[in-house]
Amino acid sequence: MEILIKKLNDQAKLPAYNSEASSGIDIYSLVGVTIEPGARVVVSTGVAMAIAVGYVGVIWNRKGVTLEEPLKITPGIVDSGFREEIKIELSNQGPESVSFGAGEKIAQMLIQKVERAKLIEAADLSESLS
């Protein structure tokens, strides 16, 4: 499968796999940002992607993020029909400011195959199994 990537800004760093063994595509910040404690920001990447029909891009924490790290990503979905700039929502859950520079890895994207289900209205459902 191929994913077409368009730079929307000359300064943007193209998403890339870190190695042959990587399952996530690294996503990079277009600009440097400082996030104050308790704050939430939306960070531009400067890129758009064309993901094939039948697949989805799932935005997740960058590799190496631990439970102790205060910077958290709001997970997101990039549908196959979405062609606008990919933006990443970050929040600082720690007591100190967190900064990163332009071109730094801020998230990763997993490409996953999806199946569209047939949705059927029902008057009743079976009991929960657990």
Domains and CATH numbers, the chain: 4-113 (2.70.40.10)
- Tell me if 73 sits within 8 A of 61, measured CB to CB: yes
- Model confidence pLDDT, tens digit, residues 25-72: 999 999 999 999 999 999 999 999 999 999 999 999 876 555 567 888
* Interval 66-97: pLDDT, tens: 556 788 899 999 999 999 999 999 999 999 99
The structure's pTM equals 0.87
CA-wise closest residue to 94 among 68, 73, 74: 68
